[in-house]
Amino acid sequence: MITFKKLIIVISISIIFIICLGYVIKEITDSYSNNSRPEKTEILNNTTHSDSLSLIEIEKLFSFMEDRCIDTISTDVINIIVTGLDTRMGSGCEHADANHLIRIFPDSGKMEIISIPRGTYVKAGYKDTSGLNYLANIRAGKGRERYMNEIAKICSIPKVDYYIEFGFSQAIGLLGILGFKNNAVQTLRLLRSRQAFGLGDYQRSFNQGEFIRQMLLSKYKSITNLPADIAIRAGLILVNTDLSYSAVRSIIDRLNKSGFPKSDSVITHFLKPKMNYDFHNFDFLSKTSRDSLYLIVMRTAKNLEIDDGGRNNNGRINRRVLKNLNSAIKRAENDSLKFPKLVINNLERIFEQRTWYQITDTNLRYELMFKICKYLKSAYEKTNQPAKANSVNKVLIIEEYIKNKY
């Protein structure tokens, strides 16, 4: 018969054994985890101002976060529609103001850019007397799929394979990646100008397509050769697109094998529907040329009173956006503990549009971005949306690196 004393001894030995076994299991699990996952994955949950990531660490982190599925594109031609949307802070309006189909022939190392003016006639289903049956309204009123189908018809291709879309703020961020960091707002305003040029929207559409052509020819090698594909990853995070990182990498690898770009002639550019006009071909690579064109744009705006008493002035826009962002952040701060869904409703659209890029002061822009991402990421985690929290963290990682290195 077991005495009480013996029972106590048996129980004590059992507890010690369980503790030791648990410790051994933990050590084995930790060892497996450390060997099978990238280093510093704790950044996924603990990105702060003090983090300073190397390119190697960024490569590991993104390899861990990105879809494990490898998208390899093997078709002879890849059709990508690049769309500039008429979106302002918090607005859901999505008129397709800029429409450029990029046709990539990766194995021959050639491209076509087809620019389509926003006012191109399409049967949008509105009354003929309404004046609303044009391309820009298709994206806003009928959705992306219908819009892409109309682009395919206009360009006489079977289908559009991928889309890249961005609004005003995202465009400013993209221009920063391309090297227009100190005058991104000026460059965007130049590219959006219609009244300053004799052919109006046709010349504007041509200017935008020509800008894309000149950037591809001049920036392709420097952008695609950056370590850890930092510019490619930053660009994909910045825009709305169904292109994956691995798909873009597949296209670039095939273009590189072809020796792209061998000469300026490997990228052709034209408008559709075709126009019998002699378009002015401006040099957008030259800062002197851009500054001269911008003076024309500003003089035209003043003459036509497009600034509406200063409401569309760059400085005034900056102050208005700053005020609205601070207000949104303050609301998020008050709601963050108890009302995560309100935080999401308040900040999600701002995050999607990357509205902070309209702030010209880079340090202030980063501070605002960090607060928006911090509150939004926390709200996603509290509402059990890990994929969305992960997408916010990707932005934090890229923004942190760009702030410290560029």
Q: Same domain, yes or no, for 282 and 382?
A: no
> Which domain covers residue 264, as residue numbers?
78-303
Would residue 7 count as lying in a domain?
Answer: no
Out of 73-77, 200-204, 272-276, give the one with best mean pLDDT: 200-204
Please tell me the distance from the alpha carbon of residue 312 to that of residue 305, in angstroms, as a whole number.
10
Quote the number of domains for the chain: 2
Domain boundary among 303, 327, 355: 303
Contacts of 396 (CB under 8 A, 6+ apart): 47, 370, 373, 377
Domain boundary among 271, 303, 335: 303
Quote the mean pLDDT of the chain: 84
Q: Same domain, yes or no, for 194 and 278?
A: yes
What value does the mean pLDDT take over residues 13-29? 50
Residue-wise pLDDT tens digits, 148-183: 999 999 999 999 999 999 998 999 999 988 988 788
Q: Same domain, yes or no, for 92 and 179?
A: yes
pLDDT band at 261 (very low <50, low <70, confident <90, very high): very high
Which of 364, 175, 385 has its CA nearest to residue 284?
175
Tell me if 237 sits within 8 A of 402, measured CB to CB. Answer: no
Q: Tokens 């392709």 sit at which residue?
A: 220
Would residue 163 count as lying in a domain?
Answer: yes
* Residue 191 φ then ψ, to 5°: -70, -25
Would residue 12 count as lying in a domain?
Answer: no
Would residue 367 count as lying in a domain?
Answer: yes
- Encoding tokens for residue 193? 């100008």
Tell me if 202 sits within 8 A of 117, measured CB to CB. Answer: yes
What value does the mean pLDDT take over residues 119-135? 88
Q: Same domain, yes or no, for 211 and 229?
A: yes
Q: Same domain, yes or no, for 324 and 187?
A: no
Which of 97, 81, 87, 82 has its CA nearest to residue 167?
87
